Amino acid sequence: MKISNPELKVVRFGADDVIATSGWMSGPLTNTSGLFYIPAGQYSGAYSGSGDYVQFNGTFGNYDGSNYAIGNISGAEANSDREGLMSGGSYTFPDAGVTVDMSHLAPIAQQAYDAYSYGDGAYYSNGTSYYELYWQ
């Protein structure tokens, strides 16, 4: 969970001292949309093409303390461009043969997330963007 102004206090309830934090069960990404990449072997829905990863759009659901459920899944397609979003410098997109400076893709990297499944047909994300993981 991302908290922009974290706070930790000891609060007295009756005779007990309790540690309270500024977090809550729904993280700040809940109800926002993102671009997700999941290993093709973990994706059970239909998608076009073939490749190591499936790219899809979705919406962050409730946060359970470790991950977000992903809902409103759409636009699933095979995509090998995930590696480009994980790198700095320049990247050549294999399908198009075009090389771009990755600074042009920073806005996408800020909204792209890893997804995973426990095999139950649902998809999850820890909510940490590629920009946070690989570019900072």
pLDDT of res. 59: 97
CA dihedral sign of residues 98, 100, 104, 110: positive
Tell me the pLDDT tens digit for each residue of 83-115: 778 877 787 877 778 888 877 888 888 899 999
Residue 1 confidence (pLDDT) above 60 = no
pLDDT of res. 93: 77
Q: Over the chain, what is the mean pLDDT?
A: 81
DSSP 129: B
Q: Stretch 70-95: mean pLDDT, rounded?
A: 83
Nearest CA to 64 out of 16, 24, 101, 120 is that of: 24
Q: Are 47 and 76 in contact (CB under 8 A)?
A: yes
pTM of the model: 0.74
